[in-house]
Amino acid sequence: MRFLRARWRVLVRLGGWSVLETGQTFLLGYALARSLDSGFLAGRAAAGLAWLGVAGTGVLLGAVGTGRVYRSVAALVEPLRDRLVERVVARGVREADDGALSRLTQQVEIARDTFAGLVLVSRSFVVAAAGALIGLFSLAPPLALVVVAPLVAAITLFAVTLRPLARRQEAYLAADEALAERLGRVGPGLRDVTAFGAEARVAAGVAQCVEAERRAAGALARWGVLRVAALAVGGHAPVVLLLVAAPWLLDHDVSPGALVGALAYVTQSLLPALQNLIHGLGAGGARLTVVLRRIAPAGDEDLRTGRDTAPAPRPTPPSTPATQAAPPFRAAPAPPPASAADAAPALALSGVTFAYGPHSEPVVRDLDLVVPRGGHLAVVGPSGIGKSTLTALVAGLLEPAAGEIRVCGRPVPGPGAAACRVLIPQEAYVHTGTLGENLTHLRPDPVPPHELLAAAEAVGLAPLLHRLGGPGAPVDPAALSAGERQLIALTRAYLSHAPLALLDEATCHLDPDAEARAERAFAARPGGTLVVVAHRLTSARRADRVLVMDGRDTAYGTHEELLRGCGLYRELFGGWAPPGSQPPLPLRDADGVDPVAGPGLAGDGRHVVAHGSVGQVQAPGDLGDGGALGGQ
């Protein structure tokens, strides 16, 4: 309404041309009544035909007015569309809104067409009602009394249902979107759901969405019944009342022609106009309300008031990519202010258990873990044992079945914990834009150029930065190698405010030297804590502590402690070591076995050790006493 008031001149022009249509509606019933009373019923056929000709002339005049009305409607609708487009583009640039494309290509057009339809049906109803009521009073005031009462009751009933209908229409659309989103995530992962025995859990989640949409549709349908009732009261009841009251009306000086004219007013003008109003304003109004709330949320008063100048976009930096374990293109918040929680460890897990299905074996079972602030933890274990699951739990992407997770003293999931951690997965996310925009995604404040360059130098991105042409150079993600994308994602995380960095095989496409440089950079960040899911076991040697995951069992300690006391860790480290190396396996058992391995040595696929001179080899299990060493 504020938008319409700002364009009152267009409304005046629209009303002026609508007078011709009002005249057409008036002549429809009035000329028909006179053609009967003064013409055909009086035996004057020529007069009856003349009055019918007047009605036809009114139709021609109404057609001229209708053509001019459409021009006036365009003068209202197109400025609204322009304002919507400006607002969507400004918001998309300012906030990197991931829904901008849908709003620009679909929702704006929905709003434009719906708004035009609402203007037309509302105007048509006003025109029809005005012409019909004037005609009824002109023919016989009692006729107007019979028609006006149910018409007013119908409009009142319809007006009362408008707001509840809009709310339920919005709830139904939200439920439908939620169901589509859930099915879109479940569909591509059906094989994984079956593999992990999570059918019941996933089915329950989908069933909840289906039930929510069913309830929303039921509520919308129940309120829709009132629209039908309003149409019956205002459009059909007057016809019945006129027929029932016909003897009484004819006895009180209402002519037969006037009665026929009144029926024509109701059936040919009021009923179609009321029907269009109820269906158009009921469904279209709710749809327009929903779309405008999405395009112009609270605070966009320049759109709502119809001003022709949009405010300058606020200098908000680009937003968080998927590597932050948040929805794409959402600006990452700065860490919460200092509080008592800042004395808590960087990461604390207490009794954490997680399984991918109610009948599946837990991937993580009763895990207790504490990583102090400034610590450096490496997570190792066989492939598929749950290392990435652990980082997903810490990042809040998964919720444990039991136990508690805290990041910097703040519970996971939660906004406080989300602001304190950054997750860099194996598949690095890089979007089209400049290199600087990619690197500053996780910063809510502008990054000084010297800080950006220092971060690139620390992580190892500087050569790529210079080759591309600096922070302002455009980036084509498809033209970058997997390792280059990982360097960009690592530098982005390094620049973030999050004190806890989770590297889930985030350096797997880098060479060992580049990997070591990136990990050392993160470990040296002031106040920073690093958790690495190790791709190469050299990451474990650089860490302060190592967590070895092995299904039901876990081991925790320094590299040297685990080599002495954890057979799986020794096995992993020995199996990983490249040919020709001398793996530091401090066995030193009673048989005098030394950890010496050379090129071409054979073994059982796990440890190869020498007894005596190099070249005379024996596998574990062939020791002096005929037994095995440490279960190997």
> CA 303, CA 240: separation in Å to the nearest integer?
46
pLDDT over threshold 80, residue 154: yes
What is the residue-wise DSSP string for 401-426?
SEEEEEETTEESSSHHHHTTEEEE-S
- Is the backbone of residue 607 left (phi > 0), alpha (psi -120 to 50) or beta? beta
For domain 322-560, say whether CATH 3.40.50.300 is its number: yes
Q: Would you list the DSSP string of 147-174?
A: HHHHHHHHHHHHHHHHHHHHHHHHHHHH
β partners of residue 502: 423, 531
Name the least confident of 178-187, 229-238, 283-292, 305-314. 305-314
Longest pairwise C-alpha distance within the chain: 136
Lowest mean pLDDT among 102-116, 164-178, 475-489: 102-116
Residue-averaged pLDDT of the chain: 75
Residue 565's pLDDT band, with cuts at 50, 70 and 90, is confident
Q: Which CATH number fits domain 2-304: 3.40.50.1820, 3.10.180.10, 3.10.20.30, 1.20.1560.10?
A: 1.20.1560.10
For residue 21, count other CB atoms closer than 10 A to its CB: 25
CA-to-CA separations, 469 to 430, 475, 510, in angstroms, rounded? 17, 10, 22
Q: Report the C-alpha gap between 31 and 49 in whole angstroms.
A: 10
Q: How many CB atoms lie within 10 A of CB 252?
A: 10
Picking from 49, 39, 357, the residue whose alpha carbon sits closest to that of residue 199 is 357
Query: 502 Cβ partners below 8 Å, 6+ apart?
Result: 391, 394, 395, 421, 422, 423, 424, 531, 533
Residue spans per domain, the chain? 2-304, 322-560, 577-632
pLDDT band at 615 (very low <50, low <70, confident <90, very high): very low
Q: What is the pLDDT of residue 578?
A: 45
What confidence tier does 101 reach under pLDDT thresholds 50, 70, 90? low
What's residue 210's pLDDT?
93
CA-based end-to-end distance of the chain: 81
| Rounded mean pLDDT, 319-325 | 36
Tens digits of residue pLDDT in 498-522: 888 888 888 888 888 888 888 888 8
Q: Which residues contact 260 (CB under 8 A, 6 or more apart)?
A: 32, 33, 36
The mean pLDDT value for 367-378 works out to: 89
